[in-house]
C-alpha cells in the first residue's frame, strides 16, 4: 500500500541537485515523445494550410528557385528535403547555413561510428566488469562511485586517499581492474575519431569556402574596414594616397564613417510620424466605410438639417476628398499635440501628421547637406579581391593603431556603433562581458528555485489533496519529479539567448556577423557553465564555491571531483538530451512561439505596413541553436565509454538527426536569416569541440585513477597534451583559411570566369556555378552600392 506523505515527515527536495529524482528515463521518454509527436503532427497538418509561416522564405525570396517544391502530402516533404544537396543549400541559403548543417552531418557520422564500436566491444566489457544500465533501469546498483564522490566532498583535503579507502572497504567486491586499460585504449580511439572527422570536415569546408568567396568580385569582397585612423589622415584623398603608396592595388573608393547621429534621430522621428499618419488614415478610412454602410441602411441624412456649422476637421484629405462626402461623415481623427499651447488643442490628426512629416522631410534634406565630424573608421574599396586580402593579412603600420579587417556588407553594418570611439566600445564590451559573467553564475538560482516549486513537498504545503493524488499514482509522481523539472530548466534556459542577443547589440559591435558570433560564444558559455560545470564539477550548485576554493588550492582536485561526480549526473543528462532531441526539436519545427503569437500580432497590425512586416518570415539566428548542439556533442563524447554511454549516444544521434532535418527545413523554406557568407562559426565549433575532448580525456583519466589503475591513467596524459597541441595547430593552419581567401584561390577563380566551358565543368567545380548563380540577382544589383549610412539616401 502506498504511504501518504505528510508535511512534517516530508524530505525536502534539493532543486539545485541535478540527479535528485532522476532515477529513471521512461517518464522523460514518454513526456518527450508525446510532446514531440504532437508538435510534428501539428506541423505536418499546418504546413500546407499556413504557408506564409511555414514556407515564408520560399514564397518571398526569388533567389531560391533552385530548391524543389515540397509536395502537399502529409509526410511526402521529408524525402524531398533529404534529397536537397549541399550545392543547393549553398546556392539558396549561403555559406553560413552550409557550415551550420555540416556540423550536424559530421556529428551523425561520428557518433554512429562510435555507437557501433561501443555496442560491439565497450558494452560487453561494461556488462561483464562493471554494470550495464537499461532504459527500464538506469540506476547504478553499486555504491563505490557514490562513496568516492562523498569522500571527495566531505573531506576535500584527503581526496588522494580515495583509492586506498575504496580498495580496503570493497576489495572483495571490485572486479579485475585490468579492464580499465580498455578504457584508456578507447579514449585514444574515440579522441582520434573525433579529430579525424573534425579535420576532414574542416578541410572540406575550407575548400568550399575558398571557391565560394574567391569567385565573387563584388563590392563587399573588395572592401576592407580601416580602423584607428589618425585625425590628420581623416580625408578621402589622404587615405587613398596612403593605401596606394603601399603598392598593393588601386583604390576605387574611400568612405569615411561620419557621426550622423543628428540625421539618424531625424530619420527615426520621421519613421515614427509616418506610422502615426498611416494609423490615422486607416482609422479614418474605417470610419468612412462604416458611415457609408449606415447611409445605405438609412437614407435619412445623419447631419443637422441646417448643416451650416461643420467642424473644421472635416477638410478634405490631401485635397482629393469631395466636400459633400466630408459633410456626410463624422469628424476625422483628432490629436492633442503637446507642442500647442492652445487650450482647445483638438486638431485634425491627419493634417497635423502630414505637416509634421513635410517639416521633417525639409529638415532631413538640409541635414543631409551638412558636413559631419569624421570618425576613425573608413571603408576602402580596392580594384580587386587580392588587393583587399593583402591589406587585411598584412601589418599596415608599426604603431599598431591602424588596423584593417574585412568589411561586412553595407546592409549589415551598424552605423550607430561607428560613432563611438574605440575606447568607448572597449569599455562597453568589458562592462557587458562582466555583467554577463555575473548573470550566468547567478542564473542557476532562479531556475532551480522555480524547479523546486513543483517538488512534492512544496505541493504538500500548498495543495495537500494534489500531493496525496500524486503519492498514490507512481506515474504521475514520476512525471512531476522527473520530467517537469528538466522541462522547466530547459524552457527557462531558452530565455537566456534573447537577453544575450539584446546585450550584444549594446556592446559596440560594428556588424551583424560580429553580433552573431558573439551570441554563439555567450550562449555556449551560459549552457556550459550552468548545465555542466555547476552541476557536474560542483555536484550541486550550492557547493560550487567550496569546490572552486578546493580547486584553487590543488588543481588536481578538479579532475578527481569531475570523475567522481560525472557518473552520478549521467541520467540527468540523458533526460536532458531526450527532451531536447525528441520533445523540443519538433516544437522548434512547429515554430510554436510564432504560431502562438500570430493572433496577437494580427490584431496589433493596424496598417498595411504593419501587416507586411508581420508577414515576413521569422529570423533564424545561429546563436540560439548552435551552442546547445555543441554542448550535446560534448556530452556524447564524454559519456561514450561509460556504462550509460550507449544510451546517451543513441539519444544524441536522434537529437542530431531531428535537428538536422528541422534546421534544414527552416533555413531553406521557412525562416529568413542574415547571409554573412563568412562561415565564421566553424572555428568556434572546432575550439569548443577540443574543449569537450579535453574534458573527456580528463574524466577518463580521473575515473581510471580513482580505481587504482594509475599507470593506465598516466597513459592518457600525453593525449591531453596532444589535444592542446592540435588546437594550437588548428589556430595556425586552418583558422586563417577560415578568415581569409588564399590568393591562389582568387586567381584560379578569376581564370575560371574567362575560360570556362561546358566541357570542363567537373563535379569539383560545381560550386563555381553555384556562386555565380547565387549572386546574379543580389550582388550584381549592388555593384555600385557605396559603403555609407542608408539614412543619407533613403527615404
Of 205, 88, 201, 98, which is closest to residue 766 (Cα–Cα)? 88
| Top-confidence residue, 564 or 451 | 564
Angle made by CA atoms 510, 515, 517, in degrees to the nearest 5: 125
Cis peptide before 795 (omega within 30 of 0): yes
In degrees and rounded to multiples of 5, residue 336 shows phi and psi of -115, 85
Whether residue 138 has pLDDT greater than 70 = no
SS3 of 724-768 = HHHHHHHHHHCHHHHHCCCHHHHHHHHHHHHHCCCCCCCHHHHHH
How many other C-beta atoms lie within 10 A of the C-beta of residue 85?
Answer: 10
Structural contact between residues 771 and 89, judged by C-beta atoms closer than 8 angstroms: no
Confidence band for 471, pLDDT divided at 50, 70 and 90? confident
Region 61-85: what's the mean pLDDT?
85
Give the DSSP letter string of 136-192.
Answer: TB------HHHHHHHHHHH-GGGGGGHHHHHHHHSTTT---GGGHHHHHHHHHHHHH
Output the pLDDT for position 257.
93
Output the pLDDT for position 317.
34
Output the pLDDT for position 186.
97
Total number of residues shown for the chain: 795
- DSSP H helical ranges for 298-368: 323-327, 349-368
Confidence band for 30, pLDDT divided at 50, 70 and 90? confident
Output the pLDDT for position 199.
97
Output the pLDDT for position 150.
45
Query: Among 32-46, 252-266, 288-302, 498-512, whose mean pLDDT is lowest?
Result: 288-302
> How confident is the model over 349-399, as pLDDT tens digits?
888 899 999 999 999 999 999 999 999 999 999 998 999 999 998 877 766
What is the C-alpha to C-alpha distance for residues 425 and 509, in angstroms, rounded to an integer?
A: 8
Output the pLDDT for position 167.
44
In degrees and rounded to multiples of 5, residue 142 shows phi and psi of -85, 160
The residues that bridge with 225 in the sheet, in sequence order, are 379, 405
Whether residue 160 has pLDDT greater than 50 = no
Confidence band for 553, pLDDT divided at 50, 70 and 90? low
Q: Report CA dihedral (53, 56, 57, 61) to the nearest 10 degrees.
A: -160
Cα 753 to Cα 215, 750, 759, 774, distances in angstroms: 8, 5, 14, 15
| Top-confidence residue, 61 or 755 | 61
> How confident is the model over 308-349, as pLDDT tens digits?
444 443 333 334 444 444 444 444 566 655 544 444 567 888
Whether residue 143 has pLDDT greater than 80 = no
Confidence band for 97, pLDDT divided at 50, 70 and 90? very high
Calculate the average pLDDT of the chain.
78
> How confident is the model over 726-753, as pLDDT tens digits?
999 999 999 999 988 888 887 544 444 3
> How confident is the model over 661-710, as pLDDT tens digits?
999 999 999 888 877 678 889 999 999 999 999 999 999 998 998 888 89
How many other C-beta atoms lie within 10 A of the C-beta of residue 569?
Answer: 20
Of 409, 413, 524, which is closest to residue 96 (Cα–Cα)? 409
Output the pLDDT for position 196.
97
Output the pLDDT for position 688.
96
In degrees and rounded to multiples of 5, residue 788 shows phi and psi of -150, 160
Output the pLDDT for position 154.
42
Output the pLDDT for position 130.
84
| Top-confidence residue, 772 or 409 | 409
In eight-state DSSP terms, residue 781 is: G
> How confident is the model over 185-233, as pLDDT tens digits?
999 999 999 999 999 999 999 999 998 888 777 888 899 999 989 888 9
Whether residue 470 has pLDDT greater than 70 = yes
Whether residue 646 has pLDDT greater than 60 = yes
Work out the percent of the chain whose per-residue pLDDT is above 70: 72
| Top-confidence residue, 104 or 785 | 104
> How confident is the model over 564-612, as pLDDT tens digits?
778 878 888 898 899 999 999 999 998 888 888 877 887 888 888 888 8
Output the pLDDT for position 663.
96
Of 368, 380, 370, 418, which is closest to residue 236 (Cα–Cα)? 380
What is the C-alpha to C-alpha distance for residues 56 and 298, in angstroms, rounded to an integer?
A: 45
Q: Cα 74 from chain centroid?
A: 29
Q: Which 3 state secondary structure label does DSSP give 244?
A: helix
Q: Which 3 state secondary structure label does DSSP give 455?
A: coil
- With a CB cutoff of 8 Å and minimum separation 6, the contacts of 709 are 177, 178, 180, 181
Whether residue 762 has pLDDT greater than 50 = no
Query: Among 29-38, 55-64, 634-643, whose mean pLDDT is lowest?
Result: 55-64
Structural contact between residues 699 and 563, judged by C-beta atoms closer than 8 angstroms: yes
| Top-confidence residue, 12 or 93 | 93
Confidence band for 452, pLDDT divided at 50, 70 and 90? low
What is the C-alpha to C-alpha distance for residues 499 and 485, in angstroms, rounded to an integer?
A: 22
Domains of the chain listed by start with CATH number: 26-212+423-753 (no CATH), 221-260+372-407 (3.30.70.330), 263-304+311-368 (no CATH)
Confidence band for 772, pLDDT divided at 50, 70 and 90? very low
Output the pLDDT for position 315.
39
Output the pLDDT for position 490.
72
Output the pLDDT for position 139.
64
Confidence band for 59, pLDDT divided at 50, 70 and 90? confident
Whether residue 63 has pLDDT greater than 80 = no
What is the C-alpha to C-alpha distance for residues 356 and 338, in angstroms, rounded to an integer?
A: 13
Whether residue 22 has pLDDT greater than 70 = no
Q: Is the dihedral of CA 105, 697, 173, 539 positive or negative?
A: negative
Whether residue 513 has pLDDT greater than 60 = yes
Angle made by CA atoms 319, 321, 326, in degrees to the nearest 5: 120
In eight-state DSSP terms, residue 667 is: I
Confidence band for 650, pLDDT divided at 50, 70 and 90? very high
Full-model pTM: 0.83
What is the C-alpha to C-alpha distance for residues 698 and 557, in angstroms, rounded to an integer?
A: 11
What is the C-alpha to C-alpha distance for residues 349 and 332, in angstroms, rounded to an integer?
A: 8
> How confident is the model over 516-551, as pLDDT tens digits?
999 999 999 988 888 787 767 654 444 555 555 555
Query: Among 20-29, 30-39, 243-252, whose mean pLDDT is lowest?
Result: 20-29
Output the pLDDT for position 766.
39
H or E stretch including 528?
none
Output the pLDDT for position 33.
93
Helix, strand, coil share of the chain (percent; to 5): 65, 5, 30
Amino acid at each position: 500500500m502506498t504511504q501518504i506523505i505528510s508535511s512534517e515527515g516530508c524530505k525536502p527536495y534539493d532543486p539545485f541537485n541535478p540527479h535528485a529524482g532522476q532515477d529513471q528515463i521512461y517518464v522523460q521518454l514518454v513526456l518527450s515523445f508525446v510532446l514531440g509527436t504532437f508538435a510534428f503532427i501539428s506541423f505536418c497538418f499546418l504546413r500546407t494550410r499556413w504557408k506564409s509561416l511555414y514556407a515564408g522564405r520560399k514564397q518571398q525570396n526569388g533567389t531560391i528557385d533552385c530548391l524543389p517544391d515540397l509536395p502537399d502530402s502529409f509526410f511526402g516533404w521529408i524525402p524531398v528535403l533529404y534529397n536537397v544537396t549541399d550545392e543547393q543549400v549553398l546556392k539558396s541559403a549561403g555559406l553560413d547555413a552550409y557550415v551550420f548543417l555540416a556540423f550536424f552531418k559530421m556529428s551523425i557520422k561520428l557518433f554512429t561510428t562510435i555507437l557501433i564500436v561501443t555496442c560491439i566491444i565497450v558494452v560487453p566489457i561494461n556488462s561483464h566488469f562493471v554494470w550495464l544500465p537499461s532504459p527500464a533501469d538506469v540506476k547504478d546498483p553499486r555504491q563505490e562511485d557514490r562513496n568516492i564522490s562523498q569522500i571527495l566532498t566531505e573531506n576535500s583535503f584527503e581526496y588522494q586517499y580515495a583509492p586506498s579507502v575504496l580498495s580496503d572497504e570493497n576489495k572483495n567486491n571490485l572486479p579485475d581492474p585490468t579492464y580499465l586499460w580498455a578504457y584508456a585504449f578507447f579514449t585514444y580511439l574515440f579522441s582520434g575519431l573525433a579529430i579525424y572527422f573534425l579535420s576532414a570536415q574542416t578541410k572540406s569546408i575550407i575548400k568550399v569556402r575558398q571557391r565560394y568567396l574567391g569567385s565573387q568580385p563584388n563590392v563587399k569582397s573588395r572592401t576592407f574596414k580601416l580602423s584607428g585612423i589618425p585625425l590628420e589622415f581623416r580625408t578621402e584623398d589622404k587615405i587613398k594616397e596612403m593605401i596606394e603608396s603601399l603598392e598593393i592595388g588601386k583604390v576605387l573608393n574611400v568612405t569615411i564613417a561620419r557621426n550622423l547621429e543628428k540625421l539618424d534621430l531625424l530619420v527615426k522621428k520621421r519613421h515614427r510620424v509616418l506610422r502615426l499618419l498611416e494609423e490615422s488614415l486607416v482609422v479614418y478610412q474605417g470610419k468612412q466605410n462604416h458611415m457609408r454602410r449606415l447611409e445605405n441602411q438609412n437614407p435619412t441624412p445623419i447631419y443637422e438639417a441646417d448643416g451650416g456649422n461643420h467642424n473644421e476637421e472635416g477638410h478634405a484629405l490631401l485635397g482629393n476628398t469631395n466636400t459633400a462626402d466630408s459633410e456626410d461623415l463624422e469628424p476625422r481623427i483628432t490629436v492633442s499635440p503637446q507642442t500647442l499651447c492652445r487650450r482647445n488643442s483638438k486638431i485634425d490628426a491627419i493634417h497635423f501628421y502630414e505637416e509634421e512629416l513635410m517639416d521633417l522631410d525639409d529638415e532631413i534634406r538640409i541635414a543631409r547637406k551638412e558636413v559631419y565630424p569624421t570618425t576613425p573608421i573608413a571603408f576602402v574599396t580596392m580594384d580587386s579581391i587580392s588587393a583587399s586580402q593583402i591589406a587585411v593579412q598584412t601589418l599596415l603600420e608599426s604603431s599598431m593603431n591602424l588596423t584593417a579587417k574585412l568589411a561586412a556588407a553595407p546592409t549589415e553594418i551598424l552605423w550607430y556603433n561607428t560613432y563611438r570611439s574605440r575606447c568607448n566600445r572597449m569599455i562597453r564590451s568589458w562592462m557587458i562581458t562582466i555583467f554577463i559573467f555575473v548573470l550566468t553564475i547567478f542564473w542557476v538560482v532562479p531556475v532551480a528555485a522555480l524547479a523546486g516549486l513543483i517538488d512534492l513537498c512544496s505541493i504538500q504545503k500548498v495543495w495537500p489533496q494534489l500531493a496525496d493524488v500524486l503519492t498514490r499514482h507512481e506515474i504521475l509522481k514520476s512525471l512531476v519529479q522527473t520530467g517537469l523539472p528538466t522541462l522547466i530548466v530547459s524552457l527557462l534556459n531558452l530565455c537566456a539567448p534573447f537577453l544575450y542577443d539584446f546585450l550584444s547589440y549594446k556592446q559596440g559591435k560594428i556588424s551583424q556577423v560580429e553580433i552573431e558570433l558573439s551570441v554563439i560564444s555567450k550562449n555556449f558559455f551560459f549552457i556550459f557553465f550552468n548545465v555542466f560545470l555547476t552541476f557536474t564539477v560542483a555536484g550541486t550548485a550550492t557547493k560550487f564555491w567550496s569546490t572552486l576554493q578546493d580547486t584553487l588550492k590543488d588543481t588536481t582536485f578538479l579532475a578527481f571531483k569531475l570523475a567522481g561526480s560525472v557518473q552520478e549526473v549521467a541520467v540527468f543528462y540523458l533526460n536532458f538530451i531526450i527532451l531536447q532531441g525528441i520533445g523540443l526539436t519538433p516544437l522548434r519545427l512547429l515554430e510554436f512561439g510564432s504560431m502562438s503569437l500570430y493572433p496577437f500580432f494580427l490584431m496589433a497590425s493596424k496598417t498595411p505596413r504593419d501587416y507586411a512586416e508581420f508577414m515576413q518570415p521569422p529570423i533564424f539566428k545561429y546563436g540560439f541553436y548552435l551552442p546547445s548542439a555543441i554542448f550535446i556533442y560534448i556530452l556524447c563524447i564524454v559519456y561514450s565509454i561509460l556504462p550509460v554511454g550507449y544510451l546517451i549516444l543513441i539519444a544524441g544521434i536522434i537529437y542530431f538527426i531531428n535537428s538536422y532535418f528541422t534546421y534544414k527545413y527552416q533555413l531553406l523554406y521557412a525562416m529568413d536569416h542574415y547571409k554573412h557568407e563568412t562561415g565564421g562559426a566553424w572555428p568556434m565549433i572546432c575550439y569548443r569541440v577540443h574543449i569537450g575532448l579535453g574534458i573527456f580525456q580528463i574524466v577518463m583519466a580521473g575515473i581510471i585513477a580513482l580505481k587504482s589503475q594509475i599507470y593506465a591513467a598516466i597513459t592518457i596524459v600525453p593525449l591531453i597534451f596532444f589535444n592542446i597541441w592540435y588546437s594550437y595547430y588548428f589556430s595556425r593552419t586552418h583558422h586563417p583559411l577560415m578568415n581569409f581567401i588564399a590568393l591562389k584561390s582568387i586567381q584560379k577563380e578569376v581564370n575560371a570566369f574567362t575560360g570556362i566551358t561546358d566541357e570542363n565543368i567537373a563535379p569539383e567545380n560545381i560550386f563555381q556555378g553555384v556562386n555565380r548563380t547565387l549572386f546574379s540577382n543580389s550582388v550584381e544589383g549592388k555593384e555600385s552600392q557605396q559603403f555609407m549610412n542608408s539614412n543619407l539616401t533613403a527615404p
